[in-house]
Amino acid sequence: MSIKLGHRRYALILGVLFFIEALVLAIAPHNRQDWALENALAVLCLLFLALTIKRFPLSRISYSLIFIFLCLHEIGAHYTYSEVPYDAWFESLFGRSFNSLWGWERNHFDRLVHFSYGFLLAYPIRELFHRVASVRGFWGYFLPLDIAMSTSMLFELFEWAAAEIFGGELGEAYLGSQGDIWDAHKDMGLASVGALVAMLVTAGINIYLQRDFAEEFRASLKVKDGVPLGEDEMRRLWKVKKEQKKQKGKHD
């Protein structure tokens, strides 16, 4: 119980800090409509965390990673992702723009956040699988990667739908492709790479700390049930159902 209370207290502190940042960045955003649209999913995420914190508190690591991601997202929502002035900030500190160091012309803040989506959220997803579905071994690393990739794809579809529905300046601001026809593909690729890096780091730590890592990994790839499913399983279930009906008819 004390562990849960400690995790809730930690989450509450991060929540207060995030609320302060969100409140400051809610003041005069670059595009108020885009800001509201960008924050729709963030609000749903916060509601989910708030509703589950009592029965299912996450680790401090997971809460910290989610906090960092949401803080980055709020910056993008305030300026719109394609207008975040990171280049001007860097130039004011070092006398040269960050983009000029790499030969970039495009605003790449959205690329950073898409990479961060996979890199920062794959571990909380892994914790969810680990604690709810008892996923172990290979699947404990593959499934978080898979979920990060698939939800990244779903978000790109959501962006496309929003751009089609709202259109005009709001649709363009929310889509933020900046004229790159491969923008969605690159965003999904970066989220996937971020999640892969996170899972490789996690696996590396567990290899060092977990004595039975190799055995658990091998066991997770062993066939647990040699009986085929599909039509064979459907046939078996059909026979069971017919038998249950027959037994019910006898009792009636």
> So where are the chain's domains?
2-251
Cβ atoms of 198 and 123 closer than 8 Å: yes
Q: Which residues of the chain fall short of a pLDDT of 50?
A: none
User: 17, 11, 18, 76: which is closest to 43 by C-alpha?
Assistant: 18
Q: What is the pLDDT of residue 144?
A: 97
Give the integer Cα–Cα distance in Å for 103 and 15. 38
pLDDT tens figures, 188-217: 999 999 999 999 999 999 999 998 999 999
For the stretch 236-249, pLDDT in tens is: 889 998 888 888 77
pLDDT of residue 159: 80
Q: What pLDDT does residue 157 have?
A: 87
pLDDT value, residue 231: 87
pLDDT at 174: 64
What dihedral angle (degrees, nearest 10) is formed by the CA atoms of 116, 119, 125, 130?
-160
Q: What is the pTM of this model?
A: 0.88
The pLDDT value given to residue 171: 61
